[in-house]
Amino acid sequence: MKITLKILMLCFLLFSCEKATKSINKNLNDKEVSIEQEENLASTKKEIAGNSKDDMKIKFSDLTISMKDYDLSWGDEHPNDRIYETKQDTVFFTLDPGYMLDQPFKIQESAFDEIELYGQYEIKIGMNTHQDVEESLCVLEKWKGYTSKWSKLKIDREDMKFVYIESKTDYPINFTIEELKLAVEKHCGPEWSNEIKNVESVDKSLITFFLTKYVYKIKAKNSQTNKVIEKCIVFYTPTSC
């Protein structure tokens, strides 16, 4: 009897983990993306390859980038897929909770002997809550925000990394408390809206500035032919741990 009970408990745990994983993957797949326009979402397909577990490849039509596959998700239900192939110049990933930027990468084509790296970030308004909910932050993703200018980042040609992008502490995002209340009701729902309905100023609200994504631009040049190509890698940040 005890053995049977243990087996039933183990099956329940495995089923719960599998269900939670599928739910997370679905949320990642449903997440909308944009750099300048939402329709720039890269058209992708994944292929099974026999690379090392810790390596992955991003294959553009004219450039291949390899990097370590940690702290990343790409809505992938096939953990053996190691190739992210795209016909456009931008690819998108979601950083896992507890992520750390400093992602090493390599350019596979040796003909591109001059590499430059640029970075920018996007800030959105987030609303905190005292409600007893699973995620205590609601990001107003399709509302006001701030996108930084491109900054050139220092890289070591022999040890290239998507280095951390320094962000400011104040952002030129202006709005009134009434505009905020309407945005919270639209993006977060009535429970969140009720929480701030009696708030008289933005300063007394529960807003926060949330860094939603890092964007890296790789500029690769072949000094023999003077051919220059640019590719973008977008890393979305998680809203909870």
Beta strand 114-128 with 72-73: parallel, antiparallel or unpaired? unpaired
pTM: 0.72
Does residue 160 sit in helix, strand or coil? coil
Containing 4, the helix (H) or strand (E) segment is helix 2-30
Say what the pLDDT of residue 73 is: 57
pLDDT band at 185; cut points 50, 70, 90? very high
The C-alpha angle 215, 218, 224, rounded to 5 degrees, equals 170
Give me the percent of the chain exceeding a pLDDT of 90.
Answer: 31
Say what the pLDDT of residue 3 is: 40
pLDDT band at 5; cut points 50, 70, 90? very low
| Least confident range of 11-20, 57-66, 113-122, 169-178 | 11-20
Count CB-CB contacts under 10 A for residue 20. 10
User: What is the residue-averaged pLDDT of the chain?
Assistant: 75
pLDDT band at 144; cut points 50, 70, 90? very high
Say what the pLDDT of residue 43 is: 40
Q: Which long-range contacts (CB under 8 A, 24 or more apart) does 67-72 make?
A: 67/103, 67/104, 67/105, 67/106, 67/162, 68/103, 68/104, 70/103, 71/95, 71/96, 71/98, 71/99, 71/100, 71/103, 72/96, 72/103, 72/235
d(CA 197, CA 191): 10
> CA separation (Å) from 204 to 127, 181, 201, 207?
12, 12, 6, 9
Beta strands in the chain (DSSP E): 44-48, 55-59, 64-68, 72-73, 81-86, 90-95, 103-107, 114-128, 137-139, 145-147, 151-153, 161-162, 207-222, 227-236
Beta strand 103-107 with 64-68: parallel, antiparallel or unpaired? antiparallel
> What is the rounded average pLDDT of the residues 92-113?
83
